[in-house]
Structure 1
Amino acid sequence: MTTPDFDVTGTGPVLLLLPGGAGHPMGLGPLVARLAHRFTVVTYDPLGLAHGRLGQPVPDQRPEDWADGADRVLAAVLPPGERGYVFGTSSGGIAALALAARHPERLAHVVAHEPPCALVLPDGADRRRELLAALDGPGRPPAEGPDATPMGVFLAHVLHPFTAYVPTPAPALLTLAAGADSRDQLPHRTAEFLAEGALLELPGGHLGTLEHPEEFADRLAEALTSISVEG
């Protein structure tokens, strides 16, 4: 099995980033640059969309598959005996939850930011239908060539299966995070519900990684390194 696509920059302990949407790391440059002052930042591109495969056919995705790919990336980049930090946002946050549950042995600390796994909520089925209607309506790419853009891939192959994912308890150290500006929105509610009160607040809203990259990176770095599992 081949190692999935990823990019590496910076020095220090390994921090694996799991982008949202269809996993394309577009727009994360400022966040990565800031984090690279303190970490070896490994940006995972689960579908290879930023590595020449955008426009190729994509099957429906599963969080478990992204998690297994992320584990292979960590195996490729971690020095022997060391554990890695992980940050995932949105759909990447769901993949981070799956990674923590499936492969805790390589993980020091995982932060999952606003994972929209709606079905964990008491009214989750209704809220998921509302989310799908809002995102999967008139703005959806045409049936022909939905895999031609990252958003098309997300809507056609990621949105439905990922929002239906129900995480299992994770033995690895896991922190749920949400944006200061996204209270009452579905992804914030799911993070708050899963956190059971211990919620990390990060700058901005659901797209805080793009809205306030430097402040977001600094707060994330503090949270990741505050507590970790010894190797």
Structure 2
Amino acid sequence: MNNTLKVPEAELYYEVRGSGPLLVLVGAPMNADSFAPLADLMADSYTVLTLDPRGVSRSTLNPGGTSRPDQRADDLARLIRHVDAGPAVVLGSSGGAVSALALAQDRPDVVHAVIAHEPPLDRLVPDGDELLAKSEKLMADWLAGDRVGAWRQFFELGNLQLPDEVVEMMFGGEQDPQVLADHRFWFDHEMRETITWLPDLAKLRQAKVVIGIGEDSTGQLCDRTSTALADGLGITPVRFPGDHTGFVGRPDAFAKALRAELIEVGFPPGS
């Protein structure tokens, strides 16, 4: 089922498939389509909710609206209540992991557990100020028109090894207008708000939180930030198949690992 829900400052596009306990899959800036293969696999035993975050793809944002983690968490809480199938387990990846963590600390009533897969929380690592300064530069460069150069900086900052010719092929030349609009939204409205967010560790320690890291992400920035968060919470991270987007590249293996983790947090599949 595809539908929309009006929330403060925005209208959210969301999809629901399957039946059983509610599992939410969310990213930022990734949209619902990024999670579709994983959602299809999980829908045999869970009600799976996916969405486009506010201002991304098919979700709209009012002029002057913003996309802070607390707002995205409120959006998730409203969606969970709207579909009336919670409390939910929320798997958030990248910026969506930050949204999920904000949900866990601000609206624990709607979540059974949160699985935060590679949250990019730069302030948690010792060189956070340096990282944030470099991010400010690449955001400014993208908005000034140097799209390929900004993406090169982005991947270098994350310690993601992409050859220059691959970056040029992915982001140079003419791009789909919607993709370009989503990239602009990320660099202008989402990235800064996401990477500068500071979690409330005391509140998160009261919630059921799992920190996920890709098996192939060792040494990357999100490995470092995720490990720092896990250390702050006094928990051991869980390794998932693949890298930062393992649910895209290896959905079958990721689904198997996710099912095991859902059992571990006391969220068995529906009958």
TM-score, length-scaled by structure 1: 0.85
Instruction: Give 3-state SS (helix, strand or coil) of 1:193's partner.
Output: helix
Cα deviation for residue 133 of structure 1 reads 4.3
Residue 5 of structure 1 is matched in structure 2 by 13
Residue 149 of structure 1 is matched in structure 2 by 181
Residue 165 of structure 1 is matched in structure 2 by 197
User: Once the two structures are aligned, what percentage of the paired residues are identical?
Assistant: 28
Residue 175 of structure 1 is matched in structure 2 by 210
Instruction: Give 3-state SS (helix, strand or coil) of 2:238's partner.
Output: strand
Q: Deviation per CA, 1:76-96, whole angstroms, max 9, x where unpaired?
A: 1234xx521110000000001
Match for 1:157: what amino acid?
H
Residue 131 of structure 2 is matched in structure 1 by 127
Residue 107 of structure 2 is matched in structure 1 by 103
Q: 1:225 to 1:53 in 2, by over 3 A?
A: same
Cα deviation for residue 25 of structure 1 reads 2.1
Q: Deviation per CA, 1:43-73, whole angstroms, max 9, x where unpaired?
A: 132326443649x856332000000110011
Tell me if the contact between 2:14 and 2:50 (Cα under 8 Å) persists in the aligned partners: yes
Cα distance in 1 between the residues matched to 2:257 and 2:64: 35
The gaps in structure 2 that reach 5 residues or longer are 151-170, 172-176
Residue 27 of structure 2 is matched in structure 1 by 19
> After alignment, is 184-193 or 64-73 more displaced?
184-193
Instruction: Give 3-state SS (helix, strand or coil) of 2:65's partner.
Output: coil
RMSD over aligned CA atoms reads 2.6
Match for 1:224: what amino acid?
L
Cα distance in 2 between the residues matched to 1:184 and 1:129: 20
Tell me if the contact between 1:57 and 1:147 (Cα under 8 Å) persists in the aligned partners: no
Instruction: Give 3-state SS (helix, strand or coil) of 2:189's partner.
Output: helix
Cα deviation for residue 228 of structure 1 reads 3.3
Q: Aligned pair count?
A: 222
Report runs of 4+ in structure 1 exceeding 6 Å deviation. none
Relative contact order (alpha carbons < 8 A, sep ≥ 6): 1 or 2 greater?
1
Cα distance in 2 between the residues matched to 1:58 and 1:76: 25
Cα distance in 2 between the residues matched to 1:175 and 1:135: 30
1:185 aligns with 2:220: yes
Instruction: Give 3-state SS (helix, strand or coil) of 1:16's partner.
Output: strand
Cα deviation for residue 147 of structure 1 reads 8.9
Cα distance in 2 between the residues matched to 1:114 and 1:128: 17
1:112 aligns with 2:116: yes
Hey, which of these two has a bigger chunk of helix by percent?
2
Instruction: For 1:69-84, list aligned pairs within 5 A.
Output: 69-79=75-85, 82-84=86-88
Cα deviation for residue 39 of structure 1 reads 1.1
Residue 214 of structure 1 is matched in structure 2 by 252
Q: 1:206 to 1:75 in 2, by over 3 A?
A: same
Cα distance in 1 between the residues matched to 2:179 and 2:185: 5
Cα distance in 2 between the residues matched to 1:186 and 1:134: 16
Cα distance in 1 between the residues matched to 2:99 and 2:110: 15
